[in-house]
Amino acid sequence: MDKDIIKNINNLPSISQTIKEYNLFAKKKLSQNFILDLNLTNKIINLSDNVKYNSIIEIGPGPGSLTRSLLLNGAKEVIAIEKDKRFIDALQILKIASHNKLIIENEDALNINLKDIINKYNIINAEIIANLPYSIATKLLLKWIPFPKKINQMTLMFQKEVAERITAKPGSKKYGRLSILIGLMAEAKIIMHIPSDAFKPQPKVDSAIVQIKPKINKIKFNKIILEEITKNLFNQRRKQIKSTLIKFGDPLKICSLLNIAPSLRPEQITLEQYENMAILIAKNHD
């Protein structure tokens, strides 16, 4: 770890002072909430055991609290993707303090292809670590799944309810489209809860950090077909699948081929059964 970088960053004004100095404030329409406590951001970074060996892609660094902790904890490099131009000057000061270990991309994360970032910076191993804007968090996650090559882990903050839906198991009330889409392509678990009062301004809900790792097994199904199936079934989640599968063919035949009871409801179907369903329906569409 570079002691000079640590000294430089520790000598910078605090995040609270930086916000005042650059006249920054959180925009509600961009779902911006800041963590000001460096002790907390250090704890978050320490949840990942690979920071020192990975290039880190951070989404929405804002004034740079999480970014500071990444650099203080020895990140190889940090590629910060920040849509809001107001934060760029404050991040530039952090870039200088880190001896250019911080790379700033003034872009909208929704418009960025992770493969392009990996190629642009010749990344060998990467991890995404981010306090995601709540309004686009699930959209970003679904865009990133399945994992692009060279990204080995994601450590992401979500609203607590969203985190619980991502990690929900079959049969539970939280189990749904998100659980299935993520569960079939990755291993996800909640590793830390963050109370709402840790943020400024304080949101109405608590948050949770989810660590997501790619599954080793090759994905055999069509992601688009799976999304269509889960959307259709869970939009009518109170109905039995013999009623909701009709869009994809003869429901009784589909259930028979998959050895699934037609009377089941969407939340009662396992990940493996959804995988087989997506494969079968894709074949019927060909």
Residues 258 and 233: beta-carbon distance below 8 Å: no
DSSP string, 142-167: HHHPSPPTTEEEEEEEEEHHHHHHHT
Q: Report d(CA 109, CA 62) in Å as an integer.
A: 13
pLDDT value at 1 more than 70: no
The reply to whether domains 3-214 and 223-285 share a CATH topology is no
Q: Among 219, 69, 82, 94, which residue's Cα sits nearest to residue 149?
A: 219
11-31 average pLDDT score: 87
Per-residue pLDDT, 286: 59
pLDDT tens figures, 27-73: 877 677 888 899 999 999 988 878 888 999 999 999 999 999 999 99
* pTM beyond cutoff 0.85: yes
Where are the domains positioned within the chain? 3-214, 223-285
Rounded to an integer, what distance in angstroms lies between the CA atom of residue 66 and that of residue 50?
16
Cβ count near 8 (within 10 Å): 17
Distances 181 to 159, 195, 214, 252 between C-alpha atoms, Å: 18, 27, 12, 24
Q: Which CATH number fits domain 3-214: 3.40.228.10, 3.40.50.12780, 3.40.50.150, 3.40.50.2300?
A: 3.40.50.150
Architecture of domain 223-285: Orthogonal Bundle (1.10)
